[in-house]
Amino acid sequence: MNGSLTFARVLSLAVVLLWQPAVASTFRPIPLSTMIERSSLVVVATPISRETHWASFGSKRRVVTDSTLEVAWTLRGEDCAGKDIVVRTLGGTVEGVGQIVYGEARLTLGHSSLLFLIPGRDGAYQVLGMAQGHYPLEPTGEGDWQLKSSLGLEGVLQEHLSVTRTLAGRLLADVPALLKSMESAK
């Protein structure tokens, strides 16, 4: 009996230490042509501040984060270079309550990104396709920037059809010509 009790304790301890909550998110891939067609604004911008608060969606309240971004370059839509815009994403922490939305774009203060945006509520923009419309930029060391995949893309179904497959890894300098060629192909 002593051996059985020891085994049960070890098994219980292993379950406690190794248990992780299951999380999943799935969403449909969006091709680049659809991102261009549906976005009203494509910009390179840097978050300079953010505020989290409660917002109502029908009868439910959700935590949202409003990030103020300084626009450096407008690639599509109304030119707002040098201006600030507000981008609302789902999730954040308010009054000790945190909400995580898997698949949502994660805007990092001080870190520039290429963003595909659509008009949202209250004058704020939303990232089209959630994380599929957000590309953090990393310097190449050669005077250009490389587009990286946004975090939270694990849930994309048929990832090979996603815009991420087309854009991640490209140089920012190549993006305007790519967008233009896709627009003229319509």
Helix (H, G, I), strand (E, B) or coil at 11: helix
pLDDT reported for residue 4: 59
> What is the predicted pLDDT for the residue at 23?
44
Which parts of the chain have pLDDT scores under 50? 10-11, 13-24
Domains of the chain by start residue, with CATH = 24-184 (2.40.50.120)
pTM of the predicted model, to two decimals? 0.82
Q: pLDDT at position 7, please?
A: 53
In 78-185 the beta strands, taken as DSSP E runs, fall at 84-90, 92-94, 97-99, 113-119, 125-127, 134-139, 145-147
Structure tokens at 63: 């935590």
**Which ranges of 53-108 would DSSP assign to H, the alpha helix?**
none
Write down the pLDDT at residue 45.
Answer: 98
Phi-psi region of 45 (alpha: psi -120 to 50; beta: other; left: phi over 0): beta
Cβ-in-10-Å burial (0-12, 13-18, 19+) of 166 comes to middle
Q: What is the CA radius of gyration of the chain?
A: 20
